Structure 1
Amino acid sequence: MKRIIYFISIVTILSLVSCDDFLDTKSYNEKELTNFPETVDDINQMLTGAYASMNVDILSGFYLAELASDDRFGGGGEGDKFMHAIDRLMNVGTDMCGGLWWGRYRGIQRVNLLFENIDRVKAWKNEQQKNQIIGEALYLRAMFYFELAQVYGEVPLMLTTEALNLPKSPANEVYAQIASDLKNAIGMMGTDKYNPEMAGHATKWSAEALMARVFLFYTGYYKKDALSLVEGGSVTKAEVINWLNDCIENSGHGLIIDNTNPGNGFYNLWPYSNEYTAIDYQWAKDKKVKWVGDGNEETVFAIKFNNFGSWDQTGYTNMHATHFGIRTPNGNTSTFPFGEGYGAGTVNPQLVEYWKTAEPNDIRLWGSIIDVENDLPDFQWGADLQMEETGYVQKKYLAITAYDHTDGGSEFLTSYSPLMYNTPRAPVELASTQDLVLIRFADVLLMHSELTQTAAGINKVRDRAGLTGIGAYTLDALKKERRLELAFEGVRWYDLMRWGDAPTALARQGDVMVRNMAGDPVQMASYGGGWVARYAATGGFWPIPGTQIARSAGVLVQNEGWGTTEAEYRGW
């Protein structure tokens, strides 16, 4: 059973570090902490507060990457201009990406507060217990800064809770801090193998995997051959490969394999194969799929969710699933088991055509994408003024419905979660408990292949998908495998950035015909000079929130390519 995380509301901690902006003048070293923390439980509550900051804003690095990539469009309805703007590397208002900035700096401040107070706790079971908490906190700070750096480029480095008005730090300094935090985390956290009871917590293995992702992005985008460290020296490719070897050989993580039904291991990763839905979903019954659940051995690190939130706390629910769901009146019994949502991130048909040509026998295609014409006979085009509609919907992260057959009934539910976890029934916006998997073991194998320039990792992933091996390694083969295996998992955009492939990939989007809200075919429209021009102007980075720049009194400077007429999206 999924381990539902109940986020603890710690009034003292949250009152100290939940302000909307790190430029506030309040000191974080005041005496409110005179009696807190004192115990290991106290420090664990502080760590929980840092984890909870991941569940803040829908405009995460994952969400931005999905809508910006060449494999998806903005979608949504006529009024969802921010979705269309993200797809085009444009802006709506001055604070479109403000929630991510505030949320991640809030998490960083919570980690910094933990570091400044952890030595007050004396009753540790042993030194490793303390080191594990420090290691997890270091991992979180590194992850928060990496997300900020991928989204905004250069950002201020806040390493204490002192209220400071800081300028942006150069990229090499930001990444040096990330690398140092991760290296220390790897050295401090325990070597216990994968355990589903620890799902949602950072581990040595997730730190090793994240280090590889950081290394690949930094060295690729900034054309470097190593990651500098704050303390001097650097992280080399050879070290990263050794860490990945350790993760692959010793973590207990692995690919989900279904030996009874070869190829089904991939299907079994996603909630559409859960037992409460699959019993009524003919495709799933035919394939004999069986969901392995959240926190499975292929999940190296994920954000956990529950459906105990409220309209004031929607971050506790996986709102990505809601945003990517199908617009009503679709999303009900007519499109079972694919549920209602906002219609964001319609799939670019160019991906489907590429997939069919490149890997015509790949079981992952229809395990990742819904073809509404063939899969959903009662699908309604243009529902609720859906825009940029293509007839293809991704099926990894969206609302999944179920029927409650208790006592012979057949009540339609907006989510399988109440049946699976005996949790409250909730409207679709508050119903999804699916993990948002940030690092999957398949990605670890593919990063290993890329760094070692060997085919072993690629071929393990292909074998699970029922495909033959590639023979000798090539970068083109690696790029194809990452695009198909990790489709709709928040990595494609950053891969395009680090490989230097974004301009070429984005240029193709203007050739696509989509349907507008009236159901009429129209050519995909570009603004602000077009996708390629916007990428050239911004380097793929997003605007620093305008309120942050205003409060800094000129200390913070806006990123290139923003604050201009070309950057403002005003609608189709």
Structure 2
Amino acid sequence: MKFRHILILAAAFFALSCDQVLDKAPLNIISEDKVWNDAVLINAYIDRVYGEMDFLVRDGSGFEEVDPTSGLADEGRQGRNWHPLFFRWKAGLLDKDGGLLELWPYETIRKTNEFLEKIVSTNAVPEETKKQLSARIRYARALIYFNMVKRYGGIPVITRAQQIDDSYEELFVKRNKEAEVYDFILSEMDGIVADLPTSYPAAEIGYPTKYAALALKSRAAMFAASIATWGKVEIDGLVGVPAADAQRFWQASYDASKQIIESKAFSLYNKLPDNKSENFRQLFLDENNSEVIFSKQLTGVNVGSNYDLFMSPFQFCPGWGGSNTSVYLEMVESFENVDGTPGTLDKALATSKPWNLTELFAKKDPRFFATIYFEGDMWKGEAIENWGGIITPAGAKITSGFYEGRSAQGRSFSAGGYAGGQMTGFNVKKYLDDKLIPVDQGKTSVDFIVFRYGEILLNFAEAAFELNKPAEALDAINQLRSRAGIKTLATATRENIRHERKVELAFENHRWWDLRRWRIAEDAITRKFTGIYTFYDVTTGKFKIELNPDAVAGTPSSFQAKHYYLPITPGRIANNPNLGPENPGY
């Protein structure tokens, strides 16, 4: 099985791409006895659980999850008003009643618990197979709990399928302390790692391996350790992890990461060592490569996403979508030069004359060119044209209509104002498939990597540093810098470890959560961000750059202390009073 083989037909209907399943009724109208006495249906039950899991916002209707210090998703000039998290908070879309990034999937958790109870008595599969199937379900349940605890702190850890006639205490479960939830996740990974294989045959890629279990332990323990180190305990431990637990959680993350490293089962992707930028770009397109530990499998048919539709340059999209996520200049500057010097843009030089932007950024970390596209960058054999205006030979600036047959807005929408890419001058390239035809709804087929070896090296580096092992931390981050083609570091510091994590994992659904677990989001997010405008210069065929000092268009970003946790919400507490008290600040 691969996730790409799942057809989610409706909330209660699904089937595997397998002749044995297609002639069977949907699970919701199949008798319970039949499900648990049929090996194919047992596996289909597991696939349904995984099909219900959220891995990234890109699974949805187009809003792309973007680190608020890296870029913003917004096509406000078209009236869509797709803003990142802090804008939605400012607009009241995350308040005491909840909002963006909510996740409360206890229906799916109940399915996992029911599976673990029913699989015990079935004779449809051998005992050894039962262990592996149970391990797959326990992995899914633990991953769900991790995605919840990093949002809400303490939540109820429920490990049995509740029944309508259960007692009040069994039905209206209290929240576990945050540290207890993390301990549960780690203990579950310890409990299943021996029952999961090291790899699968091609037809089964997409299920978790023992290394996926270790990767989840590495990440979850790092989160718990971070909160113990930099957070604070409130409401009697329902949120926060005691400082006394920091050492053991750092050690758990370090140990799990080291097991993966020492297994030699994975290596940094390096198929194109002579082209560092293209090598890094292909890491995300060459599916199931040497660096991939666990990924969500996509086909672009029935199991796909809208990622390419919303993120590709405007001119390659079918009349809508495209260039959805603009990248701040501050993120661009985070990519150092290959010699290790800061990548800060020389603004006086940049605005002094027209530029070929590839030449302007020529000295940057090759990962920059694999992660971000910009004016004049090549895509599908053509130059990207998202400029915001034309400079005539007489020096006049035209920002609407046409000049000598050339659109003043490049080849993007011309509904007035600057194009989507012109909000900052930069857009996200990582994960985009330049061979995808057509670029349309649900057509993205590139797998989303949930865990990769590069992250494990960064987790290891962070844990090693906090455990006073700076030499080991330095070696880990220098492996990544060497692969990238950038000067290695002489010493490891907390700052440069975090910086390396920012650029290596940019737009992979990490940075936003990192800011929260380090408890630095208030300073990192509450500020203005900048960009550039580009104008096509007819005389030189290059681009005149102007600075955009306020890329958020007068809406200052804001992060408050209460936002380190999402609210449980009054509605949920009304349904189950034992979920109270509410998280601080709501």
TM-score, scaled relative to structure 1: 0.72
1:301–1:162 CA distance, 2 compared to 1 (3 A): same
* Distance across 1 between alignment mates of 2:377 and 2:312: 18
1:373–1:219 CA distance, 2 compared to 1 (3 A): same
Query: Does the 8 A contact of 1:331 with 1:340 survive in 2?
Result: no
* Distance across 2 between alignment mates of 1:36 and 1:49: 13
1:268 equivalent in structure 2: 282
* Distance across 1 between alignment mates of 2:5 and 2:28: 28
Q: C-alpha offsets along residues 332-390 of structure 1, whole Å, 9 cap, x if unaligned?
A: 49xxxxx9635443211111123245364411011110012555443254755656821
In the alignment, is residue 537 of structure 1 matched against residue 538 of structure 2? Answer: no
1:555–1:30 CA distance, 2 compared to 1 (3 A): farther
Query: Does the 8 A contact of 1:459 with 1:469 survive in 2?
Result: yes
Cα RMSD (Å): 4.1
Query: Does the 8 A contact of 1:70 with 1:505 survive in 2?
Result: yes
Query: Does the 8 A contact of 1:60 with 1:100 survive in 2?
Result: no
Match of 1:341 among 288, 300, 321: 321
* Distance across 1 between alignment mates of 2:103 and 2:459: 28
1:520–1:456 CA distance, 2 compared to 1 (3 A): closer
* Distance across 1 between alignment mates of 2:177 and 2:28: 27
Query: Does the 8 A contact of 1:7 with 1:48 survive in 2?
Result: yes
Q: For this pair of structures, how many residues does the alignment match?
A: 480
1:121 equivalent in structure 2: 122
Q: Secondary structure at the match of 1:437?
A: strand
How far is 1:444 from its partner?
A: 0.8
Percent of residue pairs identical = 21
The 5-angstrom pairing of residues 316-335 of structure 1 reads 316-326=303-313, 328=314, 330-332=315-317
The 5-angstrom pairing of residues 407-426 of structure 1 reads 413-415=437-439
Query: Could you list the runs of 5+ residues in structure 2 that have no partner in the other structure?
Result: 15-26, 164-170, 232-239, 344-362, 389-408, 466-471, 534-545
The 5-angstrom pairing of residues 171-570 of structure 1 reads 171-190=178-197, 192-193=198-199, 197-223=203-229, 236-250=249-263, 252-258=265-271, 261=274, 263=276, 264-271=278-285, 293-309=286-302, 316-326=303-313, 328=314, 330-332=315-317, 341=321, 343-356=323-336, 358=342, 360-375=363-378, 376-379=383-386, 381=388, 383-384=412-413, 389-398=423-432, 400-402=434-436, 413-415=437-439, 428-453=440-465, 454=472, 455-508=474-527, 510-512=528-530, 523-525=550-552, 531-532=557-558, 534-539=559-564, 541-544=565-568, 548=572, 551-552=575-576, 555=579, 559-562=583-586
How far is 1:394 from its partner?
A: 1.0
Query: Does the 8 A contact of 2:257 with 2:456 survive in 1?
Result: yes
1:68–1:369 CA distance, 2 compared to 1 (3 A): closer
1:467–1:130 CA distance, 2 compared to 1 (3 A): same
How far is 1:250 from its partner?
A: 1.9
1:223–1:294 CA distance, 2 compared to 1 (3 A): same
How far is 1:489 from its partner?
A: 0.6
* Distance across 1 between alignment mates of 2:557 and 2:450: 26
Task: Using the TM superposition, name which of 149-158 and 30-39 deviates more.
Answer: 30-39
Q: C-alpha offsets along residues 87-125 of structure 1, whole Å, 9 cap, x if unaligned?
A: 5544438877478525x4343222112112111222434
Query: Does the 8 A contact of 1:262 with 1:466 survive in 2?
Result: no
Q: Secondary structure at the match of 2:368?
A: helix
How far is 1:146 from its partner?
A: 0.9
Q: C-alpha offsets along residues 235-270 of structure 1, whole Å, 9 cap, x if unaligned?
A: 654443332222123262211112662524313213
Q: C-alpha offsets along residues 272-305 of structure 1, whole Å, 9 cap, x if unaligned?
A: xxxxxxxxxxxxxxxxxxxxx2222211111122
Tell which structure's C-alpha radius of gyration is larger: 2
Query: Does the 8 A contact of 2:530 with 2:548 survive in 1?
Result: no
* Distance across 1 between alignment mates of 2:323 and 2:569: 26
Aligned residue type for 1:179: L
Q: Secondary structure at the match of 1:265?
A: helix
How far is 1:545 from its partner?
A: 6.3
Query: Could you list the runs of 5+ residues in structure 1 that have no partner in the other structure?
Result: 16-27, 272-292, 310-315, 334-338, 403-412, 416-427, 563-572
How far is 1:307 from its partner?
A: 2.5
* Distance across 1 between alignment mates of 2:82 and 2:154: 23
Q: Secondary structure at the match of 2:295?
A: strand
Query: Does the 8 A contact of 1:254 with 1:298 survive in 2?
Result: yes
